[in-house]
Amino acid sequence: MDANASMLRLERLVKRYPTGDLALKGVDLEVPRGQVMALIGPSGAGKSTLIRCVNRLVEPTSGRIYLGGEELTRLGMSGLRRARRRMGMIFQEYALVERLTVMENVLSGRLGYVGFWRSFLRKFPQSDIDEAFRLLERVGLDQMVDKRADALSGGQRQRVGICRALIQNPQLLLVDEPTASLDPKTSRQIMRLICELCAERDLAAVINIHDVMLAQMFAQRIVGLRLGEVVYDGPADGLTAEVLTDIYGEEDWSATIQKDEGAAAEEDAGEPAAAETLRPDERMAGLT
Amino acid sequence: MPTQAKGGTRVWQRRERGRQLAIWAGWFFGTFIFLYCFKLISDKTIWFFVTDAGRQAADLGVRMVPPNWSYINELWEPLWDTINIATIGTLLAIVIAVPVAFLAARNTTPSVAVVRPIALLIIVASRSINALIWALLLVAIVGPGVFAGILAIALRSIGFVAKLLYEAIEEIDASQVEAVTATGAGRGQTLTYGIVPQILPAFAGITVFRWDINIRESTVVGLVGAGGIGLELNSQIMELSWTSVSVILLAIIATVVVSEWVSAKVRHAII
């Protein structure tokens, strides 16, 4: 597979839930290696369904999905498990195993590579543990290794989630609303971290995000989804009022678009510095 | 509709008139049934014995004191048996209840149509039969003694532990399981990393709670011959040696208090 080939390709992807809801209506999409793509759209547009179809946490109804050259939609259970190792996933509510420690949560990213008994007895290979320490240091959590996940703040938890995804050594990141539960400052830090790490590792990423400004700020490419169909696919500065109306419906978009122009300069300004250390029970306060 | 228009003003009442009348009728009917039943029971009660109850209880109380304290030395062994019946019975129940719970929980069962109903049937069967009745049956089957008591306690506890545990399994946060699955983990790994940590506090709480209940139940199963202190209690009542009976009752109360204290401590430590 050459370097310019697409990392992820969706062909006529359709998902119909048993209730009859048609969540995806034949989506075609291609993400090249190393590209950070933001998927925006209103609630119920099918963003979460789309990325869950890629690693088949949700089974697609029809259509094909290719990761690298491999067709994911044809894989059996063991083939799917091997393919899932190549896709890291980051979740909206962090989805850490709350009662396990930070280290155990990060190492759980290696479960696809380690046998049952080794993982059960927590006897992970030293190379995995080295990598876990390296990643935790990279995201600034090296002091938190033995803390339980439920003792961390929202931003810290999401960093652990990022480490768990990256220790899989993936080629693709699937990111589902990474900032929806975070305050504005932490949201930006997390998005910046994800984008930096993708650049460092030449990772492709599909990021579901409902914050249009954040998407414009960090993503190289934006795809707009409405009612299970792609209605926009282009660069961040192509998001005009007409395009946003197309994706979300009629609304006054002037503020969103204007703010984007000054966003790079004013980002991080104005938010309280203490936001990063918010306790878990307060973390909804910063909901954007 | 509680809101009605009455000459321009809108009147709000909690209930409609018909519904309110139905509720009054319900109260009237309930009171009638209660009085009628009371009359039926009263007719079949020999009130002389009831009015006599205070004197009889006082009489029995007098015969129970002073407790025959030296008798306590004969109680250590049956008391130890009782604690063993409760503890081993609880452990045996857990060994069977845990797999049953995973088969019964909607989100972990291999088959909702076939396996789940079977698991639920096991739970209902175990729960619907009291430990004392299990003991009666088992004394007949395996003979009197501690072993019958252990089995009786275990059989009764399976349903209790499995039911509470499968409810805990059904209430777990699915996103944590999803996250573990997304790493490419196998079924066993998803279970041990995604589900087990989430149900561990519930599991510990249920286990200690059931052990605490079983201490009390195992004092009773002895009455029908299934070993432990109940056996002793039965024989002392038969011999009308009330001073010994009072020692046994005090010993049971002390044991139960200690077991409650232990279970409260353990639950607090784990959760």
Q: Tens of pLDDT along A75-93? A: 988 899 999 999 999 998 8
Average pLDDT over residues B109-120: 92
Average pLDDT over residues B88-93: 95
Average pLDDT over residues B254-264: 89
Domain spans in chain B, listed from the N-terminal domain onward: 13-45, 71-270
Chain Cα centroid distance, residue A203: 12
Question: What's the rounded Cα separation, in Å, for the pair A149 and A155?
Answer: 12
Nearest chain A alpha carbon to B192: A120
What percent of chain B has a predicted confidence (pLDDT) above 70? 99
B71-270 has which fold? MetI-like fold (1.10.3720)
Nearest chain A alpha carbon to B199: A99
H or E stretch covering A221: strand A221-226
Average pLDDT, chain B: 90
Chain A positions touching B173 (Cβ under 8 A) are 95, 98
> Which of A104-113, A249-258, B236-245 shows the lowest per-residue confidence on average (mean pLDDT)?
A249-258
Question: What's the rounded Cα separation, in Å, for the pair A101 and B220?
Answer: 44
Cβ within 8 Å, pair A116-B189: yes
Chain A positions touching B181 (Cβ under 8 A) are 57, 84
Nearest chain B alpha carbon to A58: B178
Residue A242 has pLDDT above 90, yes or no: no
Q: How confident is the model at residue B223 (pLDDT cuts 50, 70, 90)?
A: confident
Q: What is the pLDDT of residue B181?
A: 93
How far off is chain A from B183, nearest CA to CA, in Å? Answer: 5
**Helices in chain B by DSSP H: which ranges?**
17-43, 47-51, 53-64, 76-104, 115-128, 131-142, 146-170, 174-182, 187-189, 196-221, 229-238, 242-270
Cβ within 8 Å, pair A84-B179: no
Cβ within 8 Å, pair A99-B200: yes
Q: Shortest CB distance from B184 goes to which of A93, A100, A111?
A: A111
Q: What is the pLDDT of residue B207?
A: 92
Q: Is A88 helix (H, G, I), strand (E, B) or coil?
A: strand
Average pLDDT over residues A133-161: 91
Nearest chain A alpha carbon to B190: A111
Chain B positions touching A161 (Cβ under 8 A) are 179
Q: What is the pLDDT of residue A83?
A: 93
Residue A277 has pLDDT above 80, yes or no: no
How far off is chain B from A215, nearest CA to CA, in Å? Answer: 23
Interface of chain B toward chain A, CB-CB under 8 angstroms: 173, 175-176, 178-186, 188-189, 192-194, 197-198, 200-201
Average pLDDT over residues B78-91: 92
Radius of gyration (C-alpha) of chain B in whole angstroms = 27
Written as six digits, the tokens of A198 are 């993708």
Q: Using CB atoms and an 8 Å cut-off, which of residues 71-100 of chain A contact chain B?
A: 81-85, 87, 89, 91, 93, 95-100
Give tens-digit pLDDT for B129-164.
888 898 989 989 998 888 999 999 999 999 999 999
Q: Which sign, positive or negative, has the C-alpha torsion A67, A70, A75, A78?
A: negative
Nearest chain A alpha carbon to B271: A99
List of residues 6+ apart from B198 with CB closer than 8 A: A97, A98, A99, B172, B173, B176
Distances (CA, A) of B250 to A63, B58, B72, B227, B247: 74, 18, 10, 19, 5
Chain A positions touching B193 (Cβ under 8 A) are 97, 100, 104, 108, 111, 119
Question: What's the rounded Cα separation, in Å, for the pair A11 and B157?
Answer: 54
Residue A270 has pLDDT above 70, yes or no: no
Average pLDDT over residues A242-252: 83
Question: What's the rounded Cα separation, in Å, for the pair B271 and B254?
Answer: 26
Q: How confident is the model at residue B271 (pLDDT cuts 50, 70, 90)?
A: low
Chain A positions touching B171 (Cβ under 8 A) are none
Residue A280 has pLDDT above 70, yes or no: no
Residue B1 has pLDDT above 70, yes or no: no
Cβ within 8 Å, pair A110-B183: yes
Average pLDDT over residues A109-122: 92
Question: What's the rounded Cα separation, in Å, for the pair B151 and B142?
Answer: 10
Residue A279 has pLDDT above 90, yes or no: no
Full DSSP string of A112-174 = TTS-HHHHHTT---HHHHHHHHHHHHHTT-TT-TTSBGGGS-HHHHHHHHHHHHHTT--SEEE
CB B123 within 8 A of CB B158: yes
Interface check for A54 against chain B (CB to CB < 8 A): the answer is no
Q: Give this prediction's pTM.
A: 0.79
Q: What is the pLDDT of residue A268?
A: 44
Chain A positions touching B188 (Cβ under 8 A) are 116, 120
Nearest chain B alpha carbon to A53: B182
Average pLDDT over residues A14-40: 91
How far off is chain B from A103, nearest CA to CA, in Å? Answer: 13
All domains of chain A in start order, with CATH: 1-86+172-254 (3.40.50.300)
Q: What is the pLDDT of residue B159?
A: 94
Average pLDDT, chain A: 85
With CA atoms as reference, report the closest residue to B225 among B151, B127, B126: B151
Q: What is the pLDDT of residue B131?
A: 87
List of residues 6+ apart from B22 with CB closer than 8 A: none
Given the cut 0.85, state whether the ipTM is greater than it. no
Written as six digits, the tokens of B152 are 């009786």
Cβ within 8 Å, pair B176-A96: yes
Written as six digits, the tokens of A100 are 């396990």
Question: What's the rounded Cα separation, in Å, for the pair B204 and B213?
Answer: 14
Cβ within 8 Å, pair A55-B182: yes
Cβ within 8 Å, pair B180-A85: no
Written as six digits, the tokens of A25 are 């209506």
Q: Shortest CB distance from B175 goes to which of A85, A91, A164?
A: A91
